[in-house]
Amino acid sequence: MKILVVGSGKVGSEIARDLARSSEVDSVIVADAQAKNLKNVRGHAKIRTRRLDISQRKPLLAAMRNVDVICGALPGRLGFQLMTIAVEARRDLVDISYTPENPFKLHGKARDQENIIVPQCGVAPGFTNMCVGDASRRLGTMTKVRVFVGGLPQRPTPPLNYRIVFSLEDVINEYSRPARIIEYGKEKLVDALSGRGFLNFPGVGRLEYFITDGLGSLPRSFPNVREMNEYTLRYPGHAEIMKTLRVLGFFEDKEVQVNGLAITPRKLSIALLKSAMSLGRPEDLLALRVEVEGKLGKKSLISYQILDYYDARNKVSAMARTTAYPCTSAALLVGQRKLRSVGVVPPEKIAKDPEHFGFVLSRLRSRGVRVGMPSS
């Protein structure tokens, strides 16, 4: 098959490389608006690059219509636009972005065209949703879902003890966007960075957790679950610093006047935080745990866990690895027409099929990403 990857940043470039290594794929076209990003994927026989901006609608439509499947790896603010163009092009797409818009708005048109759009198919949301989908098959009745996930530096550097492992813009969105949770069976919005606590993650140590808006499509897919939360993991102390910045207005989009100049606090904060969040060495780790309670004759708890590390040989972050491989696995399932559903198909629906989830797990395992999970 022939695949187009739109976006060649830290994650998009690994999506392209992983697809190019796959025997099912004949060629990969990588498109990005910035020439420097395209350098990340040059040198592979199956990969061709093209400088292309998402605002260039006609050339992008033409590029989409010349491939079998599209993988989207753009920042969240651009994800829905890319999905919309893919539907217009009548092409299947697997996307990793967490968009502010509801991707299910595209379901009717995509379904009528017999196209497949898999939204939010990275690590979280994405693989975490797949775990919940698998758990729903194992348990039958689910009552509680808790997702813990964080990309962290192996050697934290003060004062933030954090290093950028994906789009800084999307990191700030996590800290400022109200979070959707399920409490007592009702959906509600709470402040990001709330619900803080601590846990000991095996192999890492003591981490803090706090609520963020990362459930994605889970509340829609499983409306009868009584409690559902997604928590971001960081080294202790990070959340309080970020909350202070947010409360003081550093993440606001509304312009302020400073000596006659109009300044957007969020843009200034991103510019300043970029250096602070680039301190230290690039080696990172990805800590993930999904806990699902339910009833299988009696009250049961099953969990899924990943602890993945920076790939020093290929210089690929753990965050890029664990985000890219669920996306590429779903893209291969879509491209080979293995899915029975059409329209907007969330990751958890794919994983309800044990063969499909097994395929994703086998590809993760072959790439050194080990998933601890319940036995069959």
Residue that the structure tokens 């610093």 belong to: 241
Tokens of 369: 């990403």
Confidence of residue 375 (pLDDT cuts 50, 70, 90): low
Query: Is the pLDDT confidence value at 376 over 60?
Result: no
Query: Which helix (DSSP H) or strand (DSSP E) does residue 211 occupy?
Result: strand 205-211
pLDDT at 296: 76
Omega of the bond prior to 178 within 30 degrees of 0, cis?
A: no
Among 272, 294, 317, the domain-final residue is 317
Same domain, 156 and 253: yes
- Structural domain tally of the chain? 2
What does pLDDT average to over the chain? 95
> How far apart, in whole angstroms, are the C-alpha atoms of residue 151 and residue 287?
7
Regarding whether 116 and 163 lie in a shared domain, the answer is no
What CATH number has the domain bearing residue 344? 3.40.50.720
Q: Among all chains, which residue has been given the structure tokens 């260039």? A: 56
Q: CATH number of the domain that 300 lies in?
A: 3.30.360.10
Among 317, 334, 353, give the residue marking a domain's end: 317
The pLDDT value recorded for residue 60 is 96
Domain enclosing residue 72, as ranges: 2-121+319-372
Confidence tier at 306 by pLDDT (50, 70, 90):
very high
283 shares a domain with 346: no
Q: What angle do CA 22, 28, 34 make, to 5 degrees?
A: 130
Considering the domain architecture, whether residues 102 and 224 belong to the same structural domain is answered as no
Residues 177 and 266 in one domain: yes
Domain boundary pick from 291, 317, 343? 317
Q: In terms of domains, do 295 and 204 share one? A: yes
Answer yes or no: do 250 and 291 share one domain: yes
Contact between residue 98 and residue 319 where contact means Cβ atoms under 8 Å apart: no
CA 8-180-371 angle, 5° bins: 55
Strand partners of residue 50: 31
User: Within this chain, do residues 295 and 357 fall inside the same structural domain, yes or no?
Assistant: no
Cα 102 to Cα 117: distance, rounded to the nearest angstrom: 12
Q: What are the DSSP calls for 185-208, one per residue?
A: TEEEEE-TT-S-EEEEETTTEEEE
What's the rounded mean pLDDT across residues 115-132? 98
- Do 214 and 290 lie in one domain? The reply is yes
| For range 319-346, the mean pLDDT | 97
User: Which residues sit opposite 257 in a β-bridge?
Assistant: 262
**Helices marked H in 89-215:** 107-112, 127-139, 168-176
- Whether residue 19 sits in one domain with residue 62: yes
Residues 173 and 260 in one domain: yes
For 51-110, the pLDDT digits (tens) are 999 999 999 999 999 999 999 999 999 999 999 999 999 999 999 999 989 999 999 999
pLDDT of 43 = 82
What are 128-182's pLDDT values in tens digits? 999 999 999 999 899 999 999 999 999 999 989 999 877 788 889 899 999 999 9
Q: What proportion of the chain, given as a percentage, has pLDDT over 70? A: 99
Would you say residue 117 has pLDDT above 50? yes
Longest dimension (CA), the chain: 68
Would you say residue 261 has pLDDT above 70?
A: yes
Q: What is the pLDDT of residue 373?
A: 84
User: What is the spatial distance between Cα 73 and Cα 322, in angstroms, rounded to a whole number?
Assistant: 14
Helix (H) or strand (E) holding 3, with range, is strand 2-6
Residue 352's identity, in one-letter code, is K
Name 337's Cβ contacts closer than 8 Å, sequence gap at least 6.
none
Q: Are residues 308 and 344 both part of a single domain?
A: no
Proportion of the chain in helix, strand, coil states, percent, rounded to 5: 35, 30, 35
Query: Taking the model in full, what pTM does it have?
Result: 0.94
Q: Give the confidence band of 350 by pLDDT, cuts at 50, 70, 90.
A: very high
